[in-house]
Chain A
Amino acid sequence: MDIAGIPILTFLVFFPLVGILFLLFMPSGNGKLIKWAANIITALELVFSLFLLSGFNRTVDGMQFVERASWIKSLDIQYLVGIDGISLLLILLATLLTFLATLSSWSAVKDRLKEYYIFMLLLEVGMIGVFVSLDFILFYVFWELMLVPMYFLIGIWGGERKLYAAIKFFLYTLFGSVMMLVAILVIYSHYGTFDLMKIMAQGNLLPMAIQSWVFLAFFLGFAIKVPMFPFHTWLPDAHVEAPTAGSVLLAGILLKMGTYGFVRFSLPLFPDACKKYMPYVIILALISIVYGALVSLMQKDMKKLIAYSSVSHMGFVMLGIFAFTPTALKGAILQMINHGISTGALFLIVGIVYERRHTRLIAEFGGLSSRMPIYAAVFLIITMSSIGLPGLNGFIGEFMILMGTFAVNPVWAMIAALGIILGAGYMLWLYQRVMFGKLENPANEKLSDLNLRELATFIPLIILAFWIGIMPKPFLDVLDKPVEKIVKIINPTYYDKPPLEIKKDGTPVHGGNAGSHETPAEAHTGEVK
């Protein structure tokens, strides 16, 4: 599938780069022109990325839209890109959030507009590059490339402690990834190729000793990005200091790269090591869930609260990934999308009041719902989506994760459920303190409600939140094949057992070994469908 004669994935990766060149030649004095140009470029990118849907075949097992070209022949490095259902969803999320983040910056960013939008576009190049790369080095290049624009976005347009936060963000995440680089080299010395598709096709695994080390190195790289407890300390700093659009992309996309890395590389390539370290990872995930939620409860700064809630939510995703069952894994991937939608929206919501009041302290607000009714409605929907109210997206993801985890170990699911309760606690409390009560702070009296542009940034997210909440089937369908493929590697016995349950229409339920635990999950999703 081509756009303008260029294969679609390459086009999607490099279109923002063309946009950058375009922006470079614009007069930096003309802010309006630059804003329009940047918004149009990201909007076009979103539209182009939707073309993927028409060519995507969800019944195919394996990578699609694959492009392969030699890049650095003497080092065996290829330009190899391709996507499956997992990357498809993440790419769409990335293009959507980048567009919305750009749109939300219209009046929030006032100085150095040209550089700002150039960095946004460069970030988009890196994000999409990470999700399409199937060559280790290509992946690594995009993975690191992304740090640079984010660093500048935080460092130039950030808040008071922006320098500290920017450098901390850069060094922390780089620390994880350089370890990953060494691990990649070890993988290369074993397989003799950086080509992920070729390695997967070979089918033979690394020896256990090497697998363990390589897994740990990758774990460091990905866990810092996710971030999991105790590697999460860069996140609150980065989020609090980043400009709104930076926070949106940081929470919405960059964190997903960590979990994406686990799904794409760790699980299929080092299954034995994954199994070996699974209890530890699960423990860290559970700590992240509960700890993140508890810390959120006591935050005074809205952005910090949402940042810590991300730690908690991403803990759910990690739990789902390391349960090694299709339901949990699918739920985890869907939850990655959900978290992108709801947390992205939450940061936009905070950005709205921050732009008007230049403070994010919860105590400064209260009773806003009377002044900003539309804002209150949007905030409420997103809060509910984040909590996991049935009918909204968060519910489906969390439910599937818990269901899949429960089948493996009920205690984990119970601890994780605690996180949901706490999550409802801190989110509702936040909403109550900001929106309800009497409007006592005189500074809030003149707050204006959302304008049309601001509302436009939320509408797609709200639609998606309802869509996934009410009819998640199209989203889950694209995940079927890739998830099945991964679970077959990591948990081969899962599919060996004969199906226990037969649906009403006579088709056997997939992988029924989880027995009766699985039935409600399937029944539930079936019902929602």
Chain B
Amino acid sequence: MITAILPEIALTVAALLILMVDIWLKKKVIIGYLALVGIAATLVLVLQSLAVEGYSFSQMIVNDNFGFFFQVLFLVAAFITVLLSMHYFRDNTQILGEYYSLLLFAVLGMIFMVKATDLVMVFIGIETLSLSVYILSGCLREDRRSGEAALKYILLGAFSTAFLLFGIALIFGVTGTTNLNAVAAAIAGKNILLDPMLLLAMVMLLVGIGFKISLVPFHMWTPDVYEGAPTPVTAFMSVGVKAAALAVFLRVFLMALPLLNPTWRHLLVGISVLTMTVGNIIAISQDNIKRMLAYSSIAHAGYLLIGMIAGGETGISSMLYYLVVYTFMNLGAFAVVIAFGNKGEDNLAISDYAGLGSRFPALAFVMTLFMLSLAGIPPLSGFMGKFYIFSAAVKEGYIGLAVIGVINSLISVYYYLRVTVMMYMKKPEREIIVAPVQPGLLLTLVITAFLTLQIGLFPSFYLELARASLF
């Protein structure tokens, strides 16, 4: 039984170890390497955990391909986040012990989230993740915006947690169980499909989870928190937290509420259209690159929902594939944002990117790659991702949704291109000093840029992986 949660144990041990070592260690930089080792070790254990497929802990936890896929994704995202943090916190090493251990705890929560097959377990996972990320987003004590972000996040987050918990309670009230499979069986057996309590419960769950994915209209916190949080944490939130919440979303709605599918599908169509459109349109007017990427990440959640609406093998696997694509291109974009910062100055205004093209051609080139990929221009991975999602939608007859999707990606081109306009076609307004890029960051840039190209040109492996990872 213990073998079913070996990765979680490893992660916990690593996180605690980091906290202890932190007390004695003078050279805090080493902690980053410890975190990397911890994540790598967990990854190895995850790869082995496939052998113990099936339920464990009284059906609270499942080891399946779906969870496996997400765990690998989370760990890779966390690994890259650590690499980013090593550069970002190079002069601010005092907090690194808490920082890295909280990051690992956040990943722990995410892993529990995707493995959970019980609403209580889901809740525990989400809370483990959320509490860690609340603190992470506020960990720059000197920076008032970081504090503001944390406060905003924790207040609104607590609010959404209440919704989630209320939803779980209602589900329990109606069906008498919190186990996802049992809930589905109860709904099928008791003929309570139209029970208003059940519908209310579904909506509550949607609100609670939608908050974490930052779906419109539950997205209000996103830009402020993304802007205020330390950039590596923002990067982690935009890919890791979002992916974990989506995984829970899929697990709960497809496993426990499949019979309500027509109902939530209708709701999701509206939410998806709103999420894409609002995210993209507001992103246009942003002058801060982190806020711009925040709104862009909202819009991407909208595209992802299209896959879920289309449903079926194609729809869900298109979502998973898109998540892989999105993870790398978005982390890459944040890596450039981090690389462009300097001590005391983050250079976050989009106008700061003016002239980057001639001064740092390589950095500008990879940024162009990420921007074009986020915009969905072939042959980059972002195009393949969108292509797969839209083709799933068309296949299931959601042609209107696909049209709205492509129009949205057209809108998004405008603000992604604005960055390239700045970099290549404008003269710099002020002198910008960029700190030397550390090896970890360099590695991140190379890997993410390579994958952004490779997943676009030769997506077969990743597509097969996504298809094999359904439950």
Contact = CB atoms under 8 A, between A and B. Distances in A.
A201 interface: no
B408 to A, nearest CB: 10
B99 to A, nearest CB: 39
Contacts of B424: 152, 155-156
Given A74-B460, A171-B410, A155 B387 contact: no
A152 B458 CA distance: 26
A495 interface: no
Contacts of A179: 403, 406
B272 interface: no
A75 B425 contact: no
Interface stretch (A182-190, A257-265, A403-411): A182-190
A141 B376 CA distance: 11
B410 A72 contact: no
Given A141-B379, A181-B406, A74 B463 contact: yes
Contacts of A182: 390, 394, 399, 402-403, 406
Nearest to B395: A189
Interface stretch (A159-167, A223-231, A500-508): A159-167
B358 interface: yes
A189 B421 contact: no
Contacts of B407: 178
Contacts of A137: 387
Contacts of B402: 182, 185
Interface in A73-110: 73-75
A363 B410 CA distance: 40
A145 B409 CA distance: 16
A181 B390 contact: yes
B464 interface: yes
B467 interface: yes
A144 B460 contact: no
B313 to A, nearest CB: 11
B414 interface: yes
Interface residues of B, number: 34
A73 B410 CA distance: 27
A144 B425 contact: no
B383 interface: yes
B413 A72 contact: no
Contacts of B399: 182, 186
Q: Is the interface of B mostly helix, strand, loop or mixed?
A: helix
Interface string B388-429: 101100110001001100110110011001001100111000
Contacts of A185: 390-391, 394-395, 402
B425 A163 contact: yes
Contacts of B409: 178
A167 B417 contact: yes
Contact of B377 (A72, A74, A147): A147
Q: Is the interface of A mostly helix, strand, loop or mixed?
A: helix
A74 B467 CA distance: 10
A137 B386 CA distance: 13
B391 A145 contact: no
B339 interface: no
B439 interface: no
Interface string B441-471: 0000000000000000011100110010000
Contacts of A148: 372, 377
B410 A178 contact: yes
Contacts of A188: 391, 394
A162 B413 contact: no
A112 interface: yes
A17 to B, nearest CB: 12
A174 B410 CA distance: 7
A182 B398 CA distance: 11
A145 B379 contact: yes
Interface string A132-175: 00000100110011011001100110000011001100110011
B176 interface: no
A348 B409 CA distance: 36
B328 to A, nearest CB: 18
A189 B384 CA distance: 17
B54 interface: no
B378 interface: yes
A145 B417 CA distance: 14
A75 B372 CA distance: 22
B441 to A, nearest CB: 22
A167 B415 CA distance: 10
B402 to A, nearest CB: 5
A166 B424 CA distance: 12
A162 B464 contact: no
A152 to B, nearest CB: 7
A270 B413 CA distance: 30
A161 to B, nearest CB: 11
Given A162-B425, A178-B410, A141 B390 contact: no
A370 B358 CA distance: 43
A174 B413 contact: yes
Contacts of B390: 181-182, 185
A258 to B, nearest CB: 18
Which one of A72, A166, A188 has the highest number of Cβ atoms from chain B below 10 Å of its Cβ? A72
A112 B358 CA distance: 8
A162 B427 CA distance: 13
Contacts of B463: 72, 74-75
Interface in B322-346: none
A75 B391 CA distance: 10
Contacts of B425: 155-156, 162-163, 166
Contacts of B426: 163
Nearest to B318: A75
Contacts of A163: 421, 425-426
Contacts of B383: 141, 144
Contacts of B460: 72-74
A148 B372 CA distance: 9
A162 B402 CA distance: 32
B421 A186 contact: no
A155 B409 CA distance: 21
B378 A144 contact: yes
Nearest to B426: A163
Which one of B394, B407, B458 has the highest number of Cβ atoms from chain A below 10 Å of its Cβ? B394
Interface in A293-328: none
Contacts of B467: 74
A192 to B, nearest CB: 10
A72 B459 contact: yes
Interface in A175-230: 175, 178-179, 181-182, 185-186, 188-189
30 contacts: A72-B460, A73-B460, A74-B460, A74-B464, A75-B387, A141-B379, A141-B383, A144-B383, A148-B372, A151-B417, A155-B424, A162-B425, A163-B421, A167-B414, A167-B421, A170-B413, A171-B414, A174-B413, A178-B406, A179-B403, A179-B406, A181-B387, A181-B406, A182-B390, A182-B403, A182-B406, A185-B394, A185-B395, A186-B399, A189-B394
The 10 A-B pairs at the shortest CB distance, nearest first, are namely A178-B406, A185-B394, A141-B378, A74-B463, A155-B425, A144-B378, A185-B391, A141-B379, A182-B402, A156-B424
Interface of A: 72-75, 112, 137, 140-141, 144-145, 147-148, 151-152, 155-156, 162-163, 166-167, 170-171, 174-175, 178-179, 181-182, 185-186, 188-189
Given A141-B383, A171-B410, 4 more contacts: A144-B378, A156-B425, A167-B414, A182-B402
